[in-house]
Amino acid sequence: MSWQKTAWLVGAVAIAAALPFFVYPVFLMQAMALAIFACGFNLLLGYAGILSFGHAALFGSAAYVCGYAAKAWHLPTELAILCGTAASGILGLVYGILASRQRGIYLAMITFALSQMIYFICVQAPFTGGEDGLQGIPRGTFLGIVNLSQSLNLYYFDLGVFVLALLLFWRIIESPFGQVLRAMKGNELRTVSLGYDVDVLKLVCFAMSGAFSGLGGSLQAFALGFASLDNVQWHVNGDVILMTLLGGLGTFFGPVVGAVLVLSIQNYLASLGGIVTIVEGVVFATIVMTFRRGLVGELQPRLGRLLRAWTRRGAVEQASVDIVPGAKQPTDVAGSRSVA
């Protein structure tokens, strides 16, 4: 089984490495940034069952912090990304402290209010450039060696960060911590009765979710070379929910697929002229009605069944093939012996 997983992984990495020669690299970088953002959101909603409606601020403010660190403080790219990630992690913690004792619509409203506060700070604060945005963020170098101003170089750098982030995310959700999060989503009171401190769990979850969102925001800032108010605006709160739901809530790859889908609609249908938002709405309605658990949520089990059926058939054939030479072998051996 393990060699199959390795084969999948190697195949996926090979495809990802070849992709920028077919698809525009800046688009791919933005897709990866949004995918990490959606994963962070999925940790909260899909695994812990907490609906935040204020993740735009975590994503967008990281883009500003990271961009400002690179532009004004001349920090190297890696450090600037860490700055953005850490800032959003802390902001996520603040979200958690203020909101995690509430639930349902109240929690959504508090997080929404917080994100609007951050939005207005970004509108007013001098370092964000207001409506003009923070422009001309230098992409810098990787470890002072690789020049990241080449889109292809930055793509491979981002790909590395993306794979590491996904592995980390996998590690988190498959750890005992992730199990407890799922338990909390299922039945919070019972989780408390088992001796877990739910409040602390939620805080940690908020901080982690914030950090992932911040990492996404930072990567986007470098990919595009600017940070703008669009990233902290309220509609991004909805966009990230859209991505997560389209892909599949609580599935590992769901948010990644959702992010790519939403970004593709926004970018590749732009030439249709004025009906992008309508198409987005139709796609959303269709998927919600026909794929209740999102694209990955519905397709993954079916694909899995298909794959299992296929491998089982393969195994049966293999077995039958084995039997025939197996049956022949002794006679052969016997024959050779007899010859000898």
Partner 1 sequence: MRNLKWHLTLIALLLSCGAACAQGIAVKIGVMNDQSSIYADLSGLGGVEAARMAIEDFGGKVLGQPIQLISADMQNKADVAANIANKWYDNENVDVIVDVPNSAAALAIQEIARQKKKLVLFSTAATSELTGNKCSPYGAHWTYDTYALAAGTARALIQSGALKWYFITADYAFGHQLQSDTTKFIKAAGGTVVGSALAPFPTQDFSSFLLSAEGSSADVVALANAGGDTINAIKQAREFNFNKSGKRLAALLMFISDVHSLGLKAAQGTILTTGFYWNLNDATRAWSKRFYARRHAMPTMTQAGVYSAVLHYLQAVKASGTKEPLTVMKKMREMPIHDFFAANGRLRPDGRMVHDMYLVQVKSPAESKGPWDYYKILHTIPADQAFRPMKDGGCPLVSH
Site for partner 1, rule CB under 8 A: 24, 26-27, 30, 123-124, 126, 129-133, 135-136, 220, 224-226, 228-231, 266-267, 270-277
Angle at 36 between CA 32 and CA 39, to 5 degrees: 135
For 110, 141, 206, the CA distances from 100, given in Å and listed in that order, are: 9, 39, 8
Q: Give me the least distance between CB of 28 and partner 1, in Å please.
A: 10
Q: Give me the least distance between CB of 125 and partner 1, in Å please.
A: 9
Q: Give me the least distance between CB of 194 and partner 1, in Å please.
A: 44
Q: Give me the least distance between CB of 73 and partner 1, in Å please.
A: 20
Nearer to partner 1, 152 or 303 (CB): 152
Q: Which 3 state secondary structure label does DSSP give 248?
A: coil
Nearer to partner 1, 30 or 191 (CB): 30
Give bridge partners of residue 147 from the DSSP assignment: 141
Q: Give me the least distance between CB of 136 and partner 1, in Å please.
A: 6
Query: Which backbone phi and psi does 111 adopt, to 5 degrees?
Result: -65, -35
Query: Which backbone phi and psi does 34 adopt, to 5 degrees?
Result: -65, -35
Q: Give me the least distance between CB of 174 and partner 1, in Å please.
A: 32
Residues 6+ apart with CB under 8 A from 75: 69, 83
Nearer to partner 1, 134 or 173 (CB): 134
**Which residue, among 232, 91, 256, has the nearest Cα to 159 in the 3D structure?**
256
Nearer to partner 1, 102 or 141 (CB): 141
Q: Give me the least distance between CB of 41 and partner 1, in Å please.
A: 18
Measure the CA–CA gap between 154 and 205, rounded to whole angstroms. Answer: 29
Nearer to partner 1, 201 or 219 (CB): 219
- In this structure, the chain runs to a length of 340
Q: Which 3 state secondary structure label does DSSP give 187?
A: coil
Nearer to partner 1, 104 or 273 (CB): 273
Contact present, 255 and 243 (Cβ < 8 Å): yes
Q: Give me the least distance between CB of 198 and partner 1, in Å please.
A: 37
Query: Which backbone phi and psi does 134 adopt, to 5 degrees?
Result: -90, 105
Nearer to partner 1, 72 or 275 (CB): 275
Nearer to partner 1, 273 or 330 (CB): 273
The tokens of 257 are what? 């697929």
Helix axes 25-42, 254-268, angle to 10 degrees: 140
Query: Which backbone phi and psi does 245 adopt, to 5 degrees?
Result: -70, -45
Contact present, 92 and 217 (Cβ < 8 Å): no
Residue type present at position 36:
I
